[in-house]
Amino acid sequence: MMLYEYAAKEIFSRYGIPVPRSFLATDATDAGKIADKLGHVVLKAQVATGGRGKAGGILRAENKHDAQVNARQILGMSIKGLTVKKLLIEEYIKPEKEMYLGITIDRKARCPIIMASSEGGVDIEEVARTSPEKIKKMHIHPLTELHDYQAREIAIFLNKDGVTQIIDIIQKLYRVFTENDCTLAEINPLALTGNGFIALDAKMNIDDNAMFRQKFMEEEEDTPTATARKNGMSYVGLDGDIGCIVNGAGLAMATLDMIKYYGGEAANFMDVRAGANKEQIKVALRLVSSNIKVKSILINIFGGITKCDEVARGIIDSGVSIPIVIRLTGTNEEEGRRMLEEHDMILVSTSEEAAKEAVALGHSHK
- What is the CATH number for 313? 3.40.50.261
Which residues touch 282 (CB under 8 Å, ≥6 apart)? 314, 317, 318
Q: How far apart are CA 184 and CA 1, in angstroms?
A: 10
Q: How far apart are CA 214 and CA 64, in angstroms?
A: 38
pLDDT digits (tens, 9 = 90+) for 244-256: 999 999 999 999 9
170 and 238 housed in the same domain = no
Burial class (CB in 10 A: 0-12, 13-18, 19+), 46: buried
Tell me whether residue 220 is in a domain. no
Which pLDDT band holds residue 303 (cuts at 50, 70, 90)? confident
354 and 235 housed in the same domain = yes
Question: Which of 44, 74, 91 finishes a domain?
Answer: 91
- Cα-based torsion angle of the residue sequence 178, 88, 100, 19 in order, rounded to the nearest 10 degrees: -70
For the residues 210-225, what does the mean pLDDT come to?
69
Domain harbouring 183, CATH code: 3.30.470.20
Domain harbouring 75, CATH code: 3.30.1490.20
Q: How far apart are CA 180 and CA 144, in angstroms?
A: 18
236 and 194 housed in the same domain = no
80 and 101 housed in the same domain = no
The pLDDT of residue 219: 53
The catalytic residue positions are 100, 186
Burial class (CB in 10 A: 0-12, 13-18, 19+), 341: exposed
Tell me whether residue 6 is in a domain. no
Q: Is the pLDDT score of 20 beyond 80? A: yes
Question: Which of 213, 239, 269 finishes a domain?
Answer: 213
359 and 294 housed in the same domain = yes
312 and 356 housed in the same domain = yes
Give one DSSP letter per residue of 114-143, joined into a string: EEEES--SS-HHHHHHH-GGGEEEEE--TT
258 and 325 housed in the same domain = yes
55 and 106 housed in the same domain = no
Cis peptide before 189 (omega within 30 of 0): yes
pLDDT digits (tens, 9 = 90+) for 105-149: 999 999 999 999 988 876 777 777 888 888 999 999 988 899 999
pLDDT digits (tens, 9 = 90+) for 327-340: 999 999 999 999 99
Question: Which of 74, 91, 108 finishes a domain?
Answer: 91
Which pLDDT band holds residue 284 (cuts at 50, 70, 90)? very high
Tell me whether residue 16 is in a domain. no
For the residues 75-85, what does the mean pLDDT come to?
87
Helices (H), the chain: 5-14, 28-38, 64-74, 124-130, 148-158, 163-179, 224-230, 249-261, 278-289, 308-318, 333-342, 351-364
For residue 105, give the H/E element and its range.
strand 97-106
Length of the chain: 366
Q: Are 247 and 271 in contact (CB under 8 A)?
A: yes
Tell me whether residue 281 is in a domain. yes
Backbone φ and ψ for 348, nearest 5 degrees, come out as -130, 170
263 and 342 housed in the same domain = yes
Domain count, the chain: 3
Q: Tell me the average pLDDT of the chain.
A: 92
Q: How far apart are CA 101 and CA 115, in angstroms?
A: 6
Choose among 348, 309, 343: nearest CA to 327.
348
192 and 266 housed in the same domain = no
**Beta-carbon neighbour count of residue 69 at 10 Å?**
15
Q: At residue 186, what is the residue type?
A: E
Tell me whether residue 267 is in a domain. yes
122 and 74 housed in the same domain = no
Q: How far apart are CA 284 and CA 322, in angstroms?
A: 13
Q: How far apart are CA 279 and CA 156, in angstroms?
A: 55
Which residues touch 173 (CB under 8 Å, ≥6 apart)? 12, 15, 17, 101, 103, 185, 187
Tell me whether residue 13 is in a domain. no
Which residues touch 7 (CB under 8 Å, ≥6 apart)? 204, 216, 219
Tell me whether residue 193 is in a domain. yes
Please enumerate, as own/partner, the contacts of 70-75 that have beta carbons within 8 Å and a separation of 24 or more. 70/31, 70/43, 71/25, 71/27, 71/28, 71/31, 71/32, 71/43, 72/28, 74/43, 74/45, 75/26, 75/27, 75/28
The pLDDT of residue 126: 79
Domain limits at 44?
21-91
Tell me whether residue 14 is in a domain. no
Burial class (CB in 10 A: 0-12, 13-18, 19+), 239: exposed
Q: What is the pTM of this model?
A: 0.71
236 and 342 housed in the same domain = yes
